[in-house]
Amino acid sequence: MIRNLAVAAALVAAVLSPALARADQRYYGETYNASIAPTGALDVELWSGYHQTRAGQGPGYWVHQLELETGLTDHWDVALYNIFLYAQGDTTRYQATQIESRYKLSDPGEWFVDPVLYLEVRKEWTEDRPWGVEERLIVAKDIGRLNLSGNLVFEQEFIPNGGGQEFENGYAAGASWELVPWLRAGGEAFGAWTRLTAEGRTLSQHYAGPAISIAVARSWLVLATGFGLTDESEKLRTQAILAFQF
């Protein structure tokens, strides 16, 4: 029985492999690889991440996101995020609205690395931090079945009522290997240094862990985990992203 199921699964994979999704498929939970949404397509992405905090950092919480994304040209896309927060012992709240745009500077393989510019504007609703802006420089390189991706991250949060600004400089980097046409496995490291102007100190948080990406037909799924590496980091961050392309 088990052998029959294994054979059936192999046949299904073989049938589906020519139609595997490739446009805008993500390989990692936090690290962006150099891909954008295809022109005119509608991508619907469901994000769900759990943050397990350390003692004294408050309760664990979930962040759920609904993303609608489309390609405006072959090199430019735009996305709208609706973000919900659920803290343990609390109710689910609408946390933020976010607009994201990516611009691809070259076609895949045209330059030594594939560069993408990223801009995000975020409006917070649950905290006294109504506006935030994030910029990323995304670079990636495909070497056969191996993908290498790196992000430089810069973020500014504008605090009302004379609270000034908070600045964050961060990074994300991942490496993954295509095991079979529909399955990619690897890992990533990510983190940030956040300058808390009101408190006069810098918060240092860093994570590392595995990531897998599965693509079938016009959908893909990413499962990733980041383990906290510093005392100021959360103990654990998990991320699941399920996407459908129409």
Q: What span, in angstroms and rounded, lies between the C-alpha atoms of 204 and 129?
A: 20
Mean pLDDT, residues 158-163: 69
- Other CB atoms closer than 10 Å to residue 49's CB: what's the count? 18
Torsion of the alpha carbons at 46, 214, 185 and 11, rounded to the nearest 10:
160
In a domain, 13, yes or no: no
Name the residue with higher pLDDT: 7 or 55: 55
- Other CB atoms closer than 10 Å to residue 12's CB: what's the count? 11
β-strand 61-71 against 236-245: which pairing, if any? Answer: unpaired
pLDDT for the residue 22: 56
Task: Specify the CATH number for the domain of residue 240.
Answer: 2.40.160.40
Q: Can you list the positions of beta strands (E) in 72-126?
A: 76-87, 93-104, 114-124
In a domain, 68, yes or no: yes
Contact between 202 and 189 under an 8 Å Cβ cutoff? The reply is no
Asked if residue 162 has pLDDT above 70, the reply is no
Phi, psi values for residue 33, rounded to 5°: -90, 170
In 3-state terms, what secondary structure has residue 44? strand
Taking only the tens place, the pLDDT of each residue in 164-214 is: 678 899 999 999 999 999 999 999 999 999 987 767 788 999 999 999 999
Asked if residue 122 has pLDDT above 90, the reply is yes
Taking only the tens place, the pLDDT of each residue in 75-121 is: 999 999 999 999 988 899 999 999 999 999 999 999 999 999 999 99
In a domain, 195, yes or no: yes
In a domain, 2, yes or no: no
**How many structural domains are present in the chain?**
1
Paired tokens of 76: 């430019």
Q: What span, in angstroms and rounded, lies between the C-alpha atoms of 209 and 224?
A: 7
Q: Can you list the positions of beta strands (E) in 25-71?
A: 42-52, 61-71
Q: What span, in angstroms and rounded, lies between the C-alpha atoms of 230 and 145?
A: 32
pLDDT for the residue 4: 45
Taking only the tens place, the pLDDT of each residue in 29-80 is: 999 999 999 999 999 999 999 999 998 788 999 999 999 999 999 999 999 9
- What residues make up the domain containing 118? 20-245
pLDDT for the residue 15: 39
In a domain, 3, yes or no: no
In a domain, 7, yes or no: no
Q: Which amino acid is at 235?
A: K
In a domain, 14, yes or no: no
